[in-house]
Amino acid sequence: MEGLLSATSTSDAIRPTQRTWSIGELARHFDVTTRTIRFYEQEGLLHPQRRGQTRIYHDKDRVRLKLTLRGKRLGFSLAEIREVVDLYDAADGGGEKQLTRLLDILAEKREGLERQLRDLTAMQRELDDVETRAREALARLTTHG
């Protein structure tokens, strides 16, 4: 799933390492606040290791944060992100169930966007109609006044 929801650039790919990150390092890397990261942790999307009060983030957490942020940009709800990321974890990198669910969510998002586009197009036609009638009425007033 990472490849599906993340940038396609290989330089942006997450490679398995034993590196760990602090909350501040992740926040800077992904250009988010530490509060955002703590929120995603409270929502069950991230599971850092704890040493006292210090959070220690591993590769899996970094990938989950990256997928969460990408999902948010695509308009996924936190529940949808959690569901797909949890399936990703359960399938150890993805699987048929996870990909099928991802495709279902994408189809729902696309349908919603198409509906919004139709609504906006109809609203734009209505605005154009009202504008045309207002200009015609104004023209009649100025030529007869």
The bridge status of strand 49-51 relative to strand 54-56 is: antiparallel
Domain that holds residue 84: 2-6+15-94
Residue at 54 is within a domain: yes
pLDDT tens, position by position, 36-58: 999 999 999 999 999 998 999 99
Q: First CA to last CA across the chain, in angstroms?
A: 68
Average pLDDT, the chain: 85
Q: Residue 88: which CATH number?
A: 1.10.1660.10
Q: What is the pLDDT of residue 25?
A: 94
Lowest mean pLDDT among 15-19, 30-34, 62-66: 15-19
Q: Are 21 and 29 in contact (CB under 8 A)?
A: yes
Q: Are 68 and 54 in contact (CB under 8 A)?
A: no
Residue at 108 is within a domain: no
- What is the pTM (predicted TM-score) of this model? 0.66
Considering the chain, what percentage of its residues have pLDDT values greater than 90?
60
What's 102's DSSP letter?
Answer: H
The span from the CA of 64 to the CA of 30, in Å, is 12
Residue at 126 is within a domain: no
- Look at the chain and report how many structural domains it folds into: 1
